[in-house]
Amino acid sequence: MEYQVLQDEIKAAMKARDNHRRDILRQVHTECKAIEVNERRDVTEADVDAMLKRVIKQTKETLDGSIKAGNNQERTDALTAQVAILEGYLPKQVEGEELVTLIDAVLADTGAATKKDMGRVMGELTKRTGGNFDKAAAAKELGSKLS
């Protein structure tokens, strides 16, 4: 997601009086603003995606802790909704048949044949997809294809 799109989404949530979505997006915006201030550079689309993933990870950890602690259901539902909203802004993940096809192409391009090459293949998959692929499924598929 582009930085300007994030700002536009915050404005749209404000106009729609969707306070929950607005607050969640502001959290991501604050993280991105820190990049501008601390690193003195413009925020890129990759930065916004990284911040979305980071906030999702933090929220999921909080959600897991909330479930284990047996906190009230209202908080658990709010955290679950927050994760769903944030995941809606991430780029589509490569999975299923599309992932298998991409793995085959990477294997052909890199000439990987053994399990020792798995890290190199995963790295190339990360480059080609921007990290937006099902890593567990990719590792399982690679494990079956490499000797």
Per-residue pLDDT of the chain (147 residues; tens, 9 = 90+): 888 998 999 999 999 999 999 999 999 999 889 988 999 999 888 888 888 888 989 999 988 888 888 777 888 888 899 999 998 888 888 888 888 899 999 988 988 888 888 889 999 998 888 888 888 888 888 888 887
Mark whether 27 and 82 lie in a shared domain.
Answer: yes
Two tokens at 84?
């769903």
* 21 burial via Cβ count (<10 Å: 0-12, 13-18, 19+): buried
Mark whether 80 and 16 lie in a shared domain.
Answer: yes
Mark whether 79 and 15 lie in a shared domain.
Answer: yes
What pLDDT is recorded for position 129? 86
Residue 125: inside a domain: yes
Tell me the C-alpha distance between 139 and 121, whole Å.
10
Q: What is the CATH number of the domain that holds 133?
A: 1.10.10
**Number of domains comprising the chain:** 2
Mark whether 64 and 10 lie in a shared domain.
Answer: yes
Tell me the C-alpha distance between 6 and 9, whole Å.
5
Residue 59: inside a domain: yes
Mark whether 70 and 116 lie in a shared domain.
Answer: no
